Amino acid sequence: MSALSRSASARRAFWLLLAAGGAVVAVALGAAHYMEEHGHVVTGMNNQVVWGLPHVFAIFLIVAASGALNVASVGSVFGESAYKPLAPLSVLLTVALLAGGLMVLVLDLGRPERLVVAATHYNFRSIFAWNMILYNGLFAICALYLWSLLERRLGALSKPVGIAAFAWRVILTTGTGSIFGFLVARSAYASGLIAPLFIALSLAWGLAAFYLAQCGLARLAGQEAWDEALHARVRRLLAIFVIAALYFVAVHHMTNLYWARQGAFERFILVTGAPYPALFWIGFVGLGSVVPLALLFHPRLAGPRATAAAALLVSLGALAFLYVFIIGGQAWPLEIFPGYEAASSFRDGQVDGYAPSLPELLLGLGGVAASFVIALAGARVLPILAPPKVAIPAAGPAK
């Protein structure tokens, strides 16, 4: 029997949450239908800002999906046995987040009904096409990984499959970062640094998402979410990942500042181009990184509640970062005529505005809700949650 169906109150709470998540998904599907019926004219997107709020949510979920596999990797690949009981949820969450992100990405297409075209026509020079293969491959590997973790007879498979999953997700996030990194003409992107930056971000965002999922599901099941020793390690790990992400973001901006031609863009995104500087400094750096670090490191705030608050702030900071990165990066005009001041009816040389519309927000939230529903339902039908009172050994590699 699943831990989520042991008591009547747990069963009731499960169905209520499932219904609530399902309702948000249904609303998102309605919003996507509305966008498809009327065209993207009902969104805030235009011919300059071509990727809007749905992409912010989709990229967040896809990058976090890759990072959510961390916990399983630490157990299977790096032999830290303390993490092994948490591995099934880690893999399930990867599947759930990836599915939610892809749902948003597909429903934001101009022609979502042509998904079969995307599945049957591949341009192998396109990193986008490679990513479709990588995303589908991750689903397949995660399914096998989860099976090997839950089925005792396949236990021996869990290590090689875990190593394959780890390698696959590193390549996948490199691919996601390269979607932007390969855009040679855009000041905001066009950098090989974006691939490792995305990997660092995925570590932080994925672990934050995992922490929240573990806390939520354990609470629903009436279990203790964390063993104290393990909690201390996860807390430290999250802090290290947040610092690594900050480091890569700083290096990316410093690289841009070093190049004279990128100076104007950096001034726009970091100082003058409202609302992006506020979202970057207050949203991502302040509330999304510095405050979580304070919560994670402060000796008086060592409890799960402070860590959960830190994880939530890291996730919200992620959305702020991606809003600046994706939308701010497009709002800045292309430099088509270096050395000239340009003006045209197509807004050449101008910073273009973008105001997200309600359908876009609903679609993005629907992706989060879809991930939530998949994780919740998965935790109910599969023996995902670590049994209570499990003896978790202290830190150290597995024997």
Partner 1 sequence: MNPVDKRRREFFGQAAAIAGTLVAPGLMLYEYAQAKAPADPVSGKVRWGMLIDTTKCAPGCRDCVDACNRENGLPGSTRSTDSQWIRKVDLKDLRTGRAVSIPVLCQHCAEPPCVDVCPTGASFKREDGIVLVDRHTCIGCRYCMMACPYKARSFVHEPTTGQKPDVPRGKGCVESCTLCVHKVDRGGTPSCVEACAAAGHGAIVFGDLNDPQSEISRRVRAASTTQLRADLRTDNGVRYQGLPG
Using CB under 8 A as the criterion, which residues of the chain lie in contact with partner 1 when the complex forms?
36, 38-41, 45-48, 50-51, 109-112, 114-115, 117-118, 121-123, 125-129, 132, 179, 182-186, 330, 334-348, 352
Token reading at 355? 């105001």
Which residues, other chains included, contact 366 with Cβ-Cβ below 8 Å and sequence gap of 6+? Answer: 24, 25, 27, 28, 29, 31, 32, 103, 104
Nearer to partner 1, 121 or 300 (CB): 121
Length of the chain: 399
In our burial notation (b when 16+ CB lie closer than 10 A, e otherwise), range 244-278 reads bbbebbeebeeebeeeeebeebbebbbeebeebbe
Closest CB 162 distance from partner 1, rounded Å: 30
Closest CB 132 distance from partner 1, rounded Å: 7
What angle do the packed helices 53-68 and 158-181 form, to 10 degrees? 150
Closest CB 40 distance from partner 1, rounded Å: 5
* Region of 190 on the Ramachandran plot (φ > 0 left; ψ -120 to 50 alpha; else beta): left
Maximum alpha-carbon separation in the chain:
71
Nearer to partner 1, 345 or 391 (CB): 345
Token reading at 242? 């947040």
Closest CB 88 distance from partner 1, rounded Å: 33
* Amino acid symbol at 152: R
Q: Under a CB-based contact definition with an 8 Å cutoff, are residues 234 and 273 in contact?
A: no
Rounded CA-CA distance 143/149 in Å is 10
Closest CB 267 distance from partner 1, rounded Å: 17
Nearer to partner 1, 186 or 219 (CB): 186
Nearer to partner 1, 7 or 126 (CB): 126
Nearer to partner 1, 224 or 348 (CB): 348
Nearer to partner 1, 78 or 122 (CB): 122
Nearer to partner 1, 104 or 246 (CB): 104
Closest CB 261 distance from partner 1, rounded Å: 10
Closest CB 186 distance from partner 1, rounded Å: 7
Closest of 53, 41, 109 to residue 324, by C-alpha: 53
